[in-house]
Amino acid sequence: MALLITDECINCDVCEPECPNGAISEGPLIYQIDPSFCTECVGHHDTPQCIRVCPVECILHDPAHPESADGLYQKYLKLTAR
């Protein structure tokens, strides 16, 4: 599943640089995660780094974008293909 930043986001900017896929960007009101780039850090880290650093715990699994662990890994492979 891709991740989602909820409206509890305080725009602290700690999540964006932690994303190894560049999936997080500043939106009009709060930060947002592009589900086409979010792999929950599969292939890079054991846990999603944005969740690890978020001080207000506003990053959740996005029910609109369900993905299996294998699907996330396949996305990681496509994103990192050289």
Tell me which residues of the chain have a pLDDT lower than 70. Answer: 82
Number of residues that make up the chain: 82
Domain boundaries, the chain: 3-80
Q: What Cα–Cα distance (Å) separates residue 24 from each residue in 16, 20, 31, 64?
A: 5, 9, 7, 17
pLDDT score, position 1: 81
Cα–chain center distance at 24: 6
Residue 20's pLDDT is what? 97
Q: Indicate yes or no: pTM above 0.85.
A: yes
Q: Kindly report the CATH number that applies to the domain delimited by 3-80.
A: 3.30.70.20
